[in-house]
Amino acid sequence: MPVNDQPIIRRATRNDTPLIARTIWLAEHTGIELYSYGSLFDLSYETFIKRFSELLKNDEPGHGLTWKSFWIAEINHEAAGCVALYREGENGSSSLLMTGLLMEHFTRQEVASAFAKLEAFRSVHIVQTNGNYQLDSGATFAPHHGKRIFGSIFNHAYKELSMEHPAVVEAQVWMKNDHAKKVYVGLGFIERYQKEYNASGMGRLLMTKEPIQ
C-alpha cells in the first residue's frame, strides 16, 4: 500500500483536546523556557494532560486555551502536528479570557500561587496587539519532524483566517530558541523587539509577519 506523506490539515474539534494539551506541553517545554503552565501550576505531564484536556474544551474563541484556536495536520490518519492561531481582541483580551478560564478550572489559591510565580517574569511580558493574529502553541510530533508540518499548518490556517480579516501575525518566542526563530524566519517573520530577563540572554522576542496581499 503506497504511503502518502502529504498532510491533510483540518480545524481541531472538542474531541482533540488531549492532543492539543500534548501540543501545548511540547511547545512549552523546550528546555530554554523561563516558565510554562506546568511549572507555574506545579503539574506533572500526566496531570497537565488530564486537567488541560478538560480546560481546552471551552467554546470561547480568541485565546490560546480553546480547541477553537487550533489546526491539526494528519498524515495517513495519524496526527503529525498541531498549531494555534487566533486574532487578539476578537472576543476581548486573550489574557483576561485565559485568566477567567484558569479560575474556572483551578482554585483561587492555585491561580494566585501560579500568578505569584509569573509576576517574577513580568519584565518579559509582551502585550499582544489588538486585531493582530497570534501564532501560539505549536508542535510537530515524531516521526514527522523535518517534513515542514508546522509551516504547512500555519500557512493553511493563516490563509483561511486572512480571507475574512487580513492582519499582521505576531509570534512570541524565547530569545534562546534558535530553532523556533529559524522556522519563523522561513515563514516570513522578522524580529521586532525583545524583552530581556537577565544578562544571560533569557527573555522574550516578538516576531511579526505582514499580512498576505
Partner 1 sequence: MYEELTQIFRDVFADPSLEINRSTTAAQVRGWDSITHLKLIVTIEEVLGISFTGFEIMRMQNVGDMLDLIEQKRRS
List of residues contacting partner 1 (CB under 8 A): 58, 60, 89, 92-93, 95-105, 108, 111-112, 115, 118-119, 122, 125, 127, 130
| CA–CA gap between residue 28 and residue 22 (Å, rounded) | 10
Q: Check if the beta carbon of residue 149 is closer than 8 Å to that of residue 138.
A: no
Q: Nearest 5 degrees, angle CA 124-CA 171-CA 46?
A: 80
Counting Cβ atoms within 10 Å, is residue 138 exposed (0-12), middle (13-18) or buried (19+)? buried
- Rounded to a whole number of angstroms, the minimum distance from the CB of residue 43 to partner 1 is 17
Please choose, from the candidates 66, 46, 52, the residue with its C-alpha nearest in 3D space to the C-alpha of residue 21.
52
Give CA torsion, residues 159, 174, 18, 70, to 10 deg: -10
Pick 41 or 154: Cβ nearer partner 1: 41
Least gap, CB of 119 to partner 1 (angstroms): 6
Question: 2: Cβ–Cβ under 8 A, 6 or more apart, which residues?
Answer: none
Cβ proximity to partner 1, 77 vs 108, nearer residue = 108
- Cβ closer to partner 1: 98 or 161? 98
CB nearer to partner 1: pick between 39 and 155: 39
N- to C-terminal Cα separation, the chain: 41
Q: How far is the CB of 144 from partner 1 (least distance, A)?
A: 33
Sheet of strand 190-196: strand arrangement: 8-11, 70-75, 78-87, 133-140, 169-174, 203-209, 190-196
Nearer to partner 1, 125 or 165 (CB): 125
Q: Which C-beta is closer to partner 1: that of 11 or that of 57?
A: 57
Task: Tell me the helices (H) and strands (E) count for the chain, helix number first.
Answer: 7, 7
